Amino acid sequence: MTYSPPLADLAFVLHDVMRIDAADIPGYGDLDRDTTAAILSEAGKLATEVLAPLNATGDAEGCRLEGDRVHTPAGFRDAYAALREGGWLALDCPEEYGGQGMPYLMNCATGEIFVAANMAFNMYQGLTHGAVSALEMHGDDALKALYLPPMVEGRWSGTMNLTEPHCGTDLGLIRTRAGPADDGSYRITGQKIWISAGEHDLTENIVHLVLARLPDAPEGTRGISLFLVPKFLPDEAGAPGARNAVTCIGLEDKMGIHANATCVMQYDGAQGWLVGEAHKGMRAMFTMMNEARLGVGLQGLAVAGAAHAHAVAFARDRLQGRAPGGPANPDGPADPILVHPDVRRMLMDQRAFVEGGRAFVLWGASLIDRAHRGGDARAEGLISLLTPVIKAFLTDRGFAMAVDAQQVPGGAGFTRAAGFEQFVRDARIAMIYEGTNGIQALDLVGRKLGADGGKPVMALIETVKALIAEHAGEKGDAALREGFLDPLKAASKDMQAGVMFMAERGMAKPTDALAGAHDLLHLMGHVCLGLMWARMAVTAQAMLAEGRGDAAFLRAKLVTGRHYMARHLPATALHLTRIRAGGETVMALPEEAF
Amino acid sequence: MTYSPPLADLAFVLHDVMRIDAADIPGYGDLDRDTTAAILSEAGKLATEVLAPLNATGDAEGCRLEGDRVHTPAGFRDAYAALREGGWLALDCPEEYGGQGMPYLMNCATGEIFVAANMAFNMYQGLTHGAVSALEMHGDDALKALYLPPMVEGRWSGTMNLTEPHCGTDLGLIRTRAGPADDGSYRITGQKIWISAGEHDLTENIVHLVLARLPDAPEGTRGISLFLVPKFLPDEAGAPGARNAVTCIGLEDKMGIHANATCVMQYDGAQGWLVGEAHKGMRAMFTMMNEARLGVGLQGLAVAGAAHAHAVAFARDRLQGRAPGGPANPDGPADPILVHPDVRRMLMDQRAFVEGGRAFVLWGASLIDRAHRGGDARAEGLISLLTPVIKAFLTDRGFAMAVDAQQVPGGAGFTRAAGFEQFVRDARIAMIYEGTNGIQALDLVGRKLGADGGKPVMALIETVKALIAEHAGEKGDAALREGFLDPLKAASKDMQAGVMFMAERGMAKPTDALAGAHDLLHLMGHVCLGLMWARMAVTAQAMLAEGRGDAAFLRAKLVTGRHYMARHLPATALHLTRIRAGGETVMALPEEAF
């Protein structure tokens, strides 16, 4: 494993670009440079020493179902204990339930490091985190008092149970039933599939959050309620007691994330408790979506980062061919392949994506903090708009970059031993779960663009304009303008044209808008990464001018940024062309022609 | 398995578009519509009944090394026997050695069908085909007489041994030695890796073609010779006799094509015979490259086609959500997902690529026939130029389309049982072997563009221009012009600008050219597919006007073509932008900055 945590880059983004300790977000004032450095380097130590060594072995061994018990791969129990004991599971959980109460931002910054080291492993804690958030937001006081402390402590884990064999995306078709019992609890009956971490051996208890229908439920998504169903019913002391009637009856054999158990869960009259209001389960689910989806976008970025680091290490070591201008390693039989322009192109593409994506995710996390901790409605609107973009753009592009990293070593990339292909297989799921990337595009175009009269998308456009206006004036630096601000301006114009097309066609001819949803999402993703790069360039340029910081780091930052602006950002024009092509050829074939 | 052979489309391309039986290529006159239909439907029968059922089982079981023997998955021996008995292995092999002497074109047309049904299986015969070609072209009469008949008959198979642990792309570093023996043969010693079908149980004997160095060999690629090394030395009757000192000592554990044995081969003084001239082994290898690389491009296309068919079947069956305009399946709980614009977009993208790619490969195959059978130098130059494009563009895009097909079913796409993820894992290798796609781009820009004073690339540009000139005149159909010819013209201009950039920078600043090689290759790939679509549209339009052919098929063809021209061909502009960005940001970082 060649991964080492991007500590310098995280510090640059958090402190030089975002200046978090000066941000007016509750809790950010405590995050000075030393504090975040201490947290992130500790996370990096755990990731490289404990989690990374289990990445390949966990993939090879996978999970095993024996009877109704799932065994995680060797080493996972100890690693989970190390994470729990270090307090990492509860970094941003509420202090009243035993958490550390830090901003969500820090959960994301450490999360990238943990996911890069071992994506399948980190899902166990990620899902618990989501369940804690849901329960905290929607559960009543009794449920919270009983379940949150052991979940926050990591002694109990959490899951989300949505999908059934006949319905994944279309949750309105759910058949799992919840019947009221005399004691105010419910009896849950049905089958749920693709339940990540539905059963495992890492914790004393597993708390399932389950979508089901009450007897009087209206049809469709307006008749779905959310229930809490523990694997073991807590006894009077709050310890795991009687076994509940929920059982893992199968594990999926998957392309990747083998070390994470993907379970078929059978509920046979299992005892459960209503979370939030009856029939309002979808709303309860949706309120956690921003965090969960940002977490998946983070996976796309993190795995691409790990694959990139692996490719760089290979490209330094492998000797094949000679540099175009003559031997770079004249005493060796050949030069390291890092000298070849096409290898460099792939490495720079990956680097520009990973660094830009990192800034994007951290910006997104700060918007969540600003909205939740600061009650800022503009931030809430903006992150609501950007969530599908973060999720789908970063996972589509992250997968593509993992594939490119696999290409760097040539033949070795296809062998399991070299470790590249696992990144590709693992990264693939992030494009699918937590709502497929097609669903994200639909969410963006169908819901988010028009939300609040279009204010959020206007806020994004204004954010871009403000940055350009501030730095592109006559006093502005020519290199900054040509390398960053002008390309960003052009891309933003493409975005506005795309948004305009959607607004016009959305009403008149919905299929025109829907056929272009994927392209609009990618167009916006590029603009957001362009915005991140422009921000980073402004900062790097200023620091260089002032003689602050590591000059080599800052110069590399500017080169990498220009690479993105010159070679990737111009994709906005192609996406706009596709959007404007509308839905005619997409929809024209009769069904029987397929 | 949902694959059914694209018989109607193959007939359309071969007979309506290419009009092969009227082409002035030796052997094409025999290929009338009934003949090709009979051959292709028989191939389809074998593919769907025998090969396709072994695709998933072969992947799950993989190959097994016991001692020095490799066992292929259950069913492979019978399937191979069926292929051999049907004469499929020798379709285009020379009649004097027992082949059927058909054009290479027919090998490609049937090849797509076989590869789509079972890529890993079909490699066993594909490699034998390559070895037969090499031997036929470079072997002396005695070798040919002894080895070609059993190889053509399929009783013996063939391999290519190039790579060694320390060298893949840079064959100049090869260490395997060949020492002369008293009887005129040689003793080969060394290790070769990634030898597809290096050992297996499908044939009586295996004939290895091996690159090695003679004692007096100059350094680098000018000192490499080609040797024939049989697993069993033929006895006086030509039957497999004594075991030769070549042994499989390991199998690679790979991401995909599990059913094809990827072997580590150890040569311990194995007896071999020189093929062609001493030190001219690279040249002998290169003469087969066009066919071998076109064959890999075909794999990219074929697997994408199979994945697409699988996705269409899923999209018809799976009920989720409702069509944008109201229920399409009002009596069901939901509509088939085929109604959703984003699902359609993915399916149409795949379809447009597969049909365009199919025409491209068959055009390429006809150029090979025209060059080899007709001695046409222009065709030779053109296919030499297009070979890296066919190989890399069709495998890069084919992989992307397999990934898109996997996206259609959502969660099921990630499970092994649903069958989608195997297409992705199998398709991945085609971007790597037979020269990585980066090497293809280097070959295109470094060798092929400037070959013969640039005549081949001028021939391509002229081909595009001639088609436009013939059909875009005042008498031309407006729909044809707007939908096909105008976009093609714009794309061709981008290509010319890209080529011009390469010509200017190639000398002045090679890294500028090399950094854009990948993008020029993709730009040319899009122009070629655009050319194919324009040709197909001209034909379809004319047939519709004349009332010939299946009108529904022809109308679908025009829609699919317009989809390509409107949504994919415009990528040429983005590729040109990237080319023009040059190599500055690609090369600027010092090595230690990575």
pLDDT digit string (tens) for A104-153? 999 999 999 999 999 999 999 988 998 999 999 999 999 999 999 999 99
| Residue A289: pLDDT band with limits 50, 70, 90 | confident
CA nearest A376: which of A273, A459, A469? Answer: A459
**For an interface test with A, which of B167, B253, B255 has the most A Cβ atoms less than 10 Å from its Cβ?**
B255
| Residue A390: pLDDT band with limits 50, 70, 90 | very high
Share above pLDDT 90 across residues of chain A, in percent, rounded to a whole number: 92
Q: What local confidence, expressed as pLDDT, does residue B399 receive?
A: 98
- Taking phi over 0 as left and psi of -120 to 50 as alpha, with beta for the rest, A319 belongs to beta
Its pTM stands at: 0.97
Mean pLDDT of A308-326: 93
Mean pLDDT of A562-582: 98
In sequence order, the 6+-apart residues with CB closer than 8 A to the CB of A467 are A485, A488, A531, A534, A535, A538
Kindly give the residue spans of alpha helices, DSSP state H, lying in A318-445: 341-372, 377-407, 420-428, 437-443
Q: Output DSSP code: residue B72.
A: P
| Residue A288: pLDDT band with limits 50, 70, 90 | confident
Q: Which one of the listed residues A164, A291, A434, A462 is annotated catalytic?
A: A434
Per residue in A83-109, pLDDT (tens digit) is 999 999 889 999 999 999 999 999 999
pLDDT at position A338 over 70: yes
A338 touches B at CB < 8 Å: yes
> Is B342 in Cβ contact with A442 (below 8 Å)?
yes
Mean pLDDT of B557-583: 98
pLDDT at position B474 over 80: no
Per residue in B480-501, pLDDT (tens digit) is 999 999 999 999 999 999 999 9
Lowest average pLDDT, out of A303-317, B162-176, B373-387, goes to: B162-176
When CB atoms are compared, the residue of A315, A341, A587 closest to B514 is A341
Pairing of strands A186-196, B262-275: unpaired
> Is B253 in Cβ contact with A416 (below 8 Å)?
yes
ipTM for the predicted complex comes to 0.96
For residues A374 and B389, the answer to whether their CB atoms sit within 8 Å is: no
pLDDT at position B295 over 80: yes
Identity of the residue numbered B429: I
Q: What local confidence, expressed as pLDDT, does residue A285 receive?
A: 82
- Compute the mean pLDDT over every residue in chain A, rounded to the nearest whole number: 95
For residues A560 and A569, the answer to whether their CB atoms sit within 8 Å is: no
**Which residues in chain B have Cβ-Cβ distances shorter than 8 Å to A556?**
589, 593
| Residue A342: pLDDT band with limits 50, 70, 90 | very high
Q: Give burial (CB, 10 Å; 0-12/13-18/19+) of A559.
A: buried
When CB atoms are compared, the residue of B411, B432, B567 closest to A413 is B432
When CB atoms are compared, the residue of A414, A442, A573 closest to B429 is A414
Pairing of strands B205-212, B156-161: parallel
Q: What local confidence, expressed as pLDDT, does residue A540 receive?
A: 97
Q: Output DSSP code: residue B386.
A: H
Mean pLDDT of A506-530: 95
| Residue A1: pLDDT band with limits 50, 70, 90 | low
Q: What local confidence, expressed as pLDDT, does residue B3 receive?
A: 81
Identity of the residue numbered B197: A
Q: Which residue of A has its CA nearest to B417?
A: A253
> Is A316 in Cβ contact with B594 (below 8 Å)?
yes
Q: What local confidence, expressed as pLDDT, does residue B84 receive?
A: 94
pLDDT at position B132 over 90: yes
Half-sphere exposure of residue B409: CA atoms within 13 angstroms, side-chain side:
28
**Which residues in chain A have Cβ-Cβ distances shorter than 8 Å to B436?**
407, 410
Whole-number Å distance between alpha carbons of B207 and B187: 15
When CB atoms are compared, the residue of B344, B511, B585 closest to A562 is B585
Whole-number Å distance between alpha carbons of B136 and B97: 10
**Which residues in chain B have Cβ-Cβ distances shorter than 8 Å to A594?**
312, 315-316, 338, 347, 351
Whole-number Å distance between alpha carbons of B442 and B446: 5
Per residue in A193-215, pLDDT (tens digit) is 999 999 999 999 999 999 999 99
B536 phi, psi to nearest 5 deg = -65, -35
Whole-number Å distance between alpha carbons of B268 and A38: 57
> Is B563 in Cβ contact with A338 (below 8 Å)?
no
B567 touches A at CB < 8 Å: yes
**Which residues in chain A have Cβ-Cβ distances shorter than 8 Å to B253?**
415-417
For residues B266 and B253, the answer to whether their CB atoms sit within 8 Å is: no
For residues A43 and A52, the answer to whether their CB atoms sit within 8 Å is: no
- Rounded to the nearest 10 degrees, how much is the dihedral formed by the CA atoms of B578, B582, B585, B586? 90
Please tell me the distance in Å from A580's CA to the nearest CA on chain B.
Answer: 9
For residues B561 and B522, the answer to whether their CB atoms sit within 8 Å is: no
Q: Within the 156-195 window of chain A, which residues sit less than 8 Å (CB to CB) from chain B?
A: 163, 166-170, 173, 193-194
| Residue B309: pLDDT band with limits 50, 70, 90 | very high
Share above pLDDT 70 across residues of chain B, in percent, rounded to a whole number: 99
For residues B179 and B187, the answer to whether their CB atoms sit within 8 Å is: yes
A481 touches B at CB < 8 Å: no
B263 phi, psi to nearest 5 deg = -110, 150
pLDDT at position B411 over 90: yes
CA nearest B563: which of B315, B342, B349, B304? Answer: B349
Q: What local confidence, expressed as pLDDT, does residue B402 receive?
A: 98
Q: Which residue of B has its CA nearest to A511?
A: B341
- Rounded to the nearest 10 degrees, how much is the dihedral formed by the CA atoms of A55, A57, A58, A61? 160
> Is A415 in Cβ contact with B253 (below 8 Å)?
yes
Q: What residue ranges do the domains of chain B occupy?
A: 52-86+118-279, 438-594
When CB atoms are compared, the residue of B333, B552, B567 closest to A578 is B567
Q: What local confidence, expressed as pLDDT, does residue A460 receive?
A: 98
When CB atoms are compared, the residue of B437, B567, B586 closest to A341 is B586
| Residue A506: pLDDT band with limits 50, 70, 90 | confident
Q: Give burial (CB, 10 Å; 0-12/13-18/19+) of B571.
A: buried
Q: What is the residue whose two structure tokens read 């919270």?
A: A144
Q: What local confidence, expressed as pLDDT, does residue A325 receive?
A: 86
Number of residues in chain A: 594
pLDDT at position A474 over 70: no
Identity of the residue numbered A123: M
- Compute the mean pLDDT over every residue in chain B, rounded to the nearest whole number: 95
> Is B573 in Cβ contact with A571 (below 8 Å)?
no
Fold adopted by B52-86+118-279: Butyryl-CoA Dehydrogenase, subunit A; domain 2 (2.40.110)
A342 touches B at CB < 8 Å: yes
Active site residues of B: 434
pLDDT at position B1 over 70: no
Question: Which residues pair with residue A234 across a beta bridge?
Answer: A240
Pairing of strands A205-212, A156-161: parallel
For residues B124 and B260, the answer to whether their CB atoms sit within 8 Å is: yes
In sequence order, the 6+-apart residues with CB closer than 8 A to the CB of B454 are B503
Chains A & B: contacts with CB separation below 8 Å: 241
A138 touches B at CB < 8 Å: no
Residue A147 vs residues A123, A144, A150, B174: alpha-carbon distances, Å: 20, 5, 6, 64
Q: What local confidence, expressed as pLDDT, does residue B325 receive?
A: 86
| Residue B288: pLDDT band with limits 50, 70, 90 | confident
For residues B251 and A410, the answer to whether their CB atoms sit within 8 Å is: no
Per residue in A373-388, pLDDT (tens digit) is 999 999 999 999 999 9
